Structure 1
Amino acid sequence: MRVVLPLICLALSGCVVTTVDTTSPTAPSRTSSVAPGPSKVASRNFNSVVKRVEPVAESICRRRTSGANCDFRILVHPDARQPSNAYQTLDKSGVPVIVFTQALIAETQNNDELAFVLGHEAAHHIRGHIPKQQQSATAGALLATVGASILGAGQAGVDVAQQLGATVGARAFSKDMELEADSLGTVIAARAGYDPILGAKYFDRIPDPGDQFLGSHPPNKERQKTVRRVAKGL
């Protein structure tokens, strides 16, 4: 039986892609190629934040993991039409990749917000969230497939159940993972010399997902509360 899993990436607000082929000429560019989206000032700010946050994130990654690839690649999406977002994924070689869209870089109001977003996405990799979601999706797909088969569903019904089960499985712990990434992202941003509480004000300007059943992200207020709690203990 072949299990078809949903595409998985971990994003601050929404998911854009799952894997990045960094050898492709159409792959997101390195941090030196931000234009034409953000202004030159925003581009310089972004590059400055990356230089300070990346080594902190990689150091924490090496201390908190065993055998994980901690050599982050931080890229800027070349398509200026992409909506404001940042996401963490893995390339075909398993290298952790963090991608910022040009719109997000342009819309952040200070370096603290950029640092918090970068720390949050790095934290997803450090906490091993992508493989955990893949395992949960696989389990959900298998359970749904078995259930549909027992109920006598045809192949089309089994395929639908499998996809639905994988999606539900992938989202089962996604809110907890977002809060875990917010917590560790707070630590990363603070150790890089930024104010994570000020950085988390980014949530004041994005749509609040609320407390939806099987939603992928927790309410914005809960996320800010988590940041304040962790920052207070640093």
Structure 2
Amino acid sequence: MQRRWKTLILSLTLPAVLGLGACADVSTTQTGAVGVNRKQRMLLSSDQVEEISAKAYQQEETKLRGAGKLNTDPALTARVRRVSDRLIRQATVFRPDAARWKWEVNVANAPNELNAYAMAGGKIMVYSGLMTKLNLSDDELAAVIGHEMAHALREHSRESMSQEYAQQMGLSVVGALAGLNESQLNLAAMATDVALSKPHSRTMENEADTMGLELMARAGYNPQAAISVWNKMMAQGQGGGIEFLSTHPSGPSRIDNLRRHLPQVMPLYEAARKR
């Protein structure tokens, strides 16, 4: 779900990379009850990526509005925003500064698209087909939105963009030194993508799943619904491919990861239900 923005975001990044500083290893979030604590290597600042993401999100809003496809179903939009608001109130568990983000939540009228995303700075878009084709309950919808919010909180776009830029710069330098032609460089880029980018992307997806579980549990949504979402996705032919050549974990692998973390978050869900 993150990769649909890669081309647009990278094109908007070009002015920003001129001012890049040194690479830094950072912790973008607190660990939460689920213990997400991986260090992330960043070349871009949070402010740069939030600005780029805000522009990209605004472009998509303008495009959808112009086509008459933005928030066309008031009941569906209200439902998505109600679930999102409950999750957003829990975001400070991982990032206290998320309380100051300018969150936006919108619904794209796209009956055949099973998709959603949350961009840096809290820009959320849910595609109507995700809810209508999968017939999602509020708990299941919270699992999807919580997962996408976790991508934003964890700054996975910033990390991916940093990786992409570092690889492009590294390949161009290596190619010039080795005298590789364009075809050889393309093969090298493909090998780098499979060997480096895709494993990192699967790591990010697992982190988003894990953090999303905690967000939904703290918001009073049943974390077990995350498993039913992926069962529904696999039934639609999504998420069941060959894991090694995918940027996302396979469906069964993802479900196994979710099940491992359920004991950590179910007490949070039970506590939230009693409030």
SS at match of 2:117: strand
SS at match of 1:213: helix
CA separation of 1:69/1:144 partners in 2, compared to 1, >3 Å: closer, same or farther? farther
What aligned pairs does 1:39-188 form with structure 2 within 5 A after superposition? 40=75, 42-57=76-91, 59-63=92-96, 70-77=101-108, 79-80=109-110, 83-90=113-120, 95-106=121-132, 107-154=134-181, 156-157=182-183, 160=186, 164=190, 167-168=193-194, 169-188=196-215
Corresponding position of 1:3: none
Rounded Cα–Cα distance in structure 1 between residues aligned with 2:59 and 2:243? 38
Letter in 2 for 1:86: A
Question: Per-residue displacement from partner, 1:181-210 (whole Å, max 9, x unpaired)?
Answer: 000000000000001212331111222344
SS at match of 1:15: helix
Letter in 1 for 2:186: V
Q: How far 1:101 sits from its partner (Å)?
A: 0.7
Q: How far 1:159 sits from its partner (Å)?
A: 6.6
Corresponding position of 2:58: 22
Letter in 2 for 1:194: Y
CA separation of 1:127/1:142 partners in 2, compared to 1, >3 Å: closer, same or farther? same
Q: 1:89–1:97: 8 Å Cα contact kept in structure 2?
A: yes
SS at match of 2:90: helix
Q: 1:196–1:231: 8 Å Cα contact kept in structure 2?
A: yes
Q: How far 1:55 sits from its partner (Å)?
A: 1.6
Q: Does 1:35 find its partner at 2:72? A: yes
% identity of equivalent residues: 24
Q: How far 1:28 sits from its partner (Å)?
A: 5.3
State the Cα RMSD in Å. 3.1
Q: How far 1:27 sits from its partner (Å)?
A: 5.2
Structure 1 or 2: more helix by fraction: 2
TM-score after normalising by structure 1: 0.73
Out of 125-134 and 173-182, give the one that drifted further. 125-134
Q: How far 1:230 sits from its partner (Å)?
A: 1.8
Letter in 2 for 1:45: R
Rounded Cα–Cα distance in structure 2 between residues aligned with 1:147 and 1:96? 37
Task: Give ranges in structure 2 of 5+ residues lacking alignment.
Answer: 10-52, 266-275
| Aligned length, in residue pairs | 208
CA separation of 1:50/1:68 partners in 2, compared to 1, >3 Å: closer, same or farther? closer
TM-score after normalising by structure 2: 0.63
Q: How far 1:109 sits from its partner (Å)?
A: 2.3
Q: How far 1:108 sits from its partner (Å)?
A: 3.7
SS at match of 1:196: coil
Rounded Cα–Cα distance in structure 2 between residues aligned with 1:61 and 1:72? 16
